[in-house]
């Protein structure tokens, strides 16, 4: 059986770099809060930092984006030339991220084979997205990767390991490994510690246990599927579009390579953090919706008509009214609070009910903008502005995540989040993607 995950040569900052300024949060966070990124820039100042190697998506539509991307590519080359990166021997990195919960989130950094990943809706690959990939979002991200010499990933890939046999024993025995970094992260990001696990029989054992998740018989017994059903050992939990961009880049690049070159080209493998969905620290959070430049009353009236046409009943309720046995979404505008309640929805998941309608409504009103928000306080502040409406989504059930993807296909985009914005991956490790 061919591996999906591999040990690899991981780049980390050389000794002497201020890691508290090197590490910044994933670029797809705080997209409606430019003040967060302005403050990050002030903290970083002239220091060597991953902030200068990424494009925060709050600036993705700026008129200066192309200049920004050129500067990123140049800075990557400069950092490589100056020896800012230290290349570890082949291996993996064990991580512990403490954000103030009862226990830290455990993970391991590995390289994943993009030939085993596909983001299309009908994907049967061993590595699949949990949510729908919006292909229109790939080209601007591809512009950053095309011309880059390294990748600095924020992707998190999940496994369903309820017995905690794979990652957790490594953490229990972490003192036997060499500590790489131990740093407090900026802007209430918590703390992260990393240990190096060199390639050995121990890492091979980890990879073999991951392979077991792909065994059709094991998979069938676990989920009650037919023995010929496509297996899903790995699900992309965070960084769906970053993973899709890496895939698109690889598909373009491999057209220029010989069959031999395709086997081990560094761009074929993407660096990501592997986490267990059953890690006690992982709380599956809803991602809320905020719409700007919208007439809230017209939107709510349109929702009623939309669901009537689908033989469902949609009502606008006061927040105190009964909302059992329906898909219910508390909403807020500048002058109003209430609940959008949908009975007999044709969609199994609440998020599918709301997102399907919002997609329809935005297609009819192209001026409207939508954003996806972590945290009720942020949503409430944004929804209090003129011509805005925010919807709160319910918390998805953790145990249903893999089953949802296995039986229903990819979930609607932005269905869930593993923690709030400050808990997302901070950029620390990187990997070469050119020879």
Residue among 259, 258, 250, 273 nearest 434 (CA): 250
- The strand ranges marked E within 52-104 are 85-87, 91-98
My answer on whether 218 and 345 are in the same domain is: no
pLDDT of res. 131? 83
pLDDT of res. 71? 96
- Alpha helices for 309-400 (secondary structure H): 350-364, 376-383
pLDDT of res. 89? 97
My answer on whether 188 and 313 are in the same domain is: no
Cβ of 310: how many Cβ atoms within 10 Å?
Answer: 16
What is the rounded distance in angstroms from the CA atom of residue 34 to the CA atom of residue 218?
A: 47
DSSP state of 400: G
The list of the chain residues with pLDDT below 70 reads 1
For 236, 303, 304, 345, 429, the CA distances from 308, given in Å and listed in that order, are 35, 8, 6, 10, 50
Inside any domain, residue 409: no
My answer on whether 276 and 304 are in the same domain is: no
Inside any domain, residue 410: no
pLDDT of res. 185? 98
My answer on whether 137 and 233 are in the same domain is: yes
My answer on whether 215 and 298 are in the same domain is: no
Range of the domain at 352: 288-392
Inside any domain, residue 399: no
- 340: its two tokens: 């959008």
Reported as half-sphere exposure (CB side, CA atoms, 13 A), residue 8 has a value of 28
My answer on whether 196 and 299 are in the same domain is: no
Inside any domain, residue 402: no
pLDDT of res. 96? 98
Residue 8 contacts residue 33 (beta carbons within 8 Å): no
My answer on whether 306 and 271 are in the same domain is: no
Residue among 319, 396, 398, 386 nearest 355 (CA): 396
My answer on whether 370 and 232 are in the same domain is: no
Inside any domain, residue 202: yes
pLDDT of res. 421? 87
Inside any domain, residue 122: yes
pLDDT of res. 1? 53
pLDDT of res. 122? 81
My answer on whether 319 and 275 are in the same domain is: no
What is the rounded distance in angstroms from the CA atom of residue 233 to the CA atom of residue 313?
A: 38
Three-state secondary structure call for residue 416: strand
In sequence order, what are the beta bridge partners of 191?
98, 184
For 380-398, how does the pLDDT look when each residue is reduced to its tens digit (9 = 90+)?
Answer: 999 999 999 999 999 887 7
Residue 39 φ then ψ, to 5°:
-65, -40
Pair type for strands 150-151 and 284-286: unpaired
pLDDT of res. 260? 96
What is the rounded distance in angstroms from the CA atom of residue 401 to the CA atom of residue 411?
A: 9
Cβ neighbours of residue 250 under 8 Å, at least 6 residues apart? 114, 267, 268
CATH of the domain at 343: 3.30.1760
For 239-276, how does the pLDDT look when each residue is reduced to its tens digit (9 = 90+)?
Answer: 999 999 999 999 999 999 999 999 999 999 999 999 99
Look at the chain and report how many structural domains it folds into: 2
DSSP state of 360: H
Radius of gyration of the chain (CA): 22
Inside any domain, residue 42: yes
My answer on whether 274 and 346 are in the same domain is: no
For 290, 302, 336, 393, the CA distances from 295, given in Å and listed in that order, are 13, 11, 12, 20
Q: Identify the residue whose tokens are 């972590």.
A: 374
My answer on whether 368 and 428 are in the same domain is: no
Largest CA distance in the chain: 65
Inside any domain, residue 403: no
My answer on whether 241 and 99 are in the same domain is: yes
């Amino acid at each position: 059986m061919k591996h999906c995950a591999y040990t690899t040569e991981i780049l980390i900052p050389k000794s002497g770099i201020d890691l508290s300024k090197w590490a910044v949060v994933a670029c797809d966070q705080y997209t409606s809060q430019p003040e967060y990124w302005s403050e990050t820039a002030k903290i970083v100042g002239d220091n060597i930092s991953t902030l200068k190697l990424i494009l925060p998506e709050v600036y993705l539509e700026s008129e200066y984006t192309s200049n920004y991307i050129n500067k990123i590519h140049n800075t990557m080359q400069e950092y490589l030339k100056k020896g800012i990166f230290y290349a570890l021997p082949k291996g993996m990195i064990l991580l512990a991220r403490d954000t103030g919960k009862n226990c830290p989130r455990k993970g391991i950094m590995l390289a994943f084979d993009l030939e085993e990943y596909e983001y299309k809706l009908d994907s049967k690959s061993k590595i699949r997205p949990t949510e729908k990939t919006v292909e229109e979002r790939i080209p601007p991200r591809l512009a950053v990767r095309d011309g880059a010499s390294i990748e600095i990933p924020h992707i998190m890939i999940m496994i369903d390991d309820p017995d905690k046999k794979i990652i957790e024993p490594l953490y229990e025995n972490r003192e036997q490994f060499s500590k790489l970094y131990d740093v407090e992260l900026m802007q209430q990001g918590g703390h992260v510690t990393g240990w190096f696990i060199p390639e050995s029989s121990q890492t091979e054992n980890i990879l073999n246990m991951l392979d077991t998740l792909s065994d059709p018989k094991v998979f069938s017994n676990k989920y009650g599927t037919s023995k010929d059903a496509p297996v899903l050992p790995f699900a992309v939990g965070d960084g769906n579009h970053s993973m899709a961009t890496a895939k698109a880049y690889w598909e373009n690049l491999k057209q220029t390579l010989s069959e031999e070159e395709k086997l081990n080209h560094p761009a074929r493998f993407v660096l990501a953090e592997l986490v267990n969905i059953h890690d006690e620290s992982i709380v599956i959070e809803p991602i809320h919706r905020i719409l700007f430049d919208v007439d809230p009353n017209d939107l709510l009236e349109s929702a009623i008509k939309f669901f009537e046409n689908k033989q469902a009943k949609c009502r606008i309720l006061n927040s105190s009214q009964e909302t059992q046995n329906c898909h219910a979404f508390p909403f807020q505008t500048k002058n109003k609070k209430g609940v959008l309640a949908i009975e007999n929805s044709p969609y199994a998941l609440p998020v599918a009910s709301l997102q399907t309608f919002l997609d329809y409504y935005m297609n009819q009103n192209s001026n409207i903008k939508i954003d996806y928000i972590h945290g009720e306080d942020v949503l409430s502040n944004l929804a209090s502005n003129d011509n805005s409406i925010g919807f709160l989504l319910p918390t998805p059930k953790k145990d249903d995540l893999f089953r949802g993807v296995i039986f229903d296909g990819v979930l609607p985009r932005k269905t869930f989040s593993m923690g709030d914005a400050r808990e997302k991956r901070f950029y620390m490790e990187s990997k070469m993607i050119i020879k």
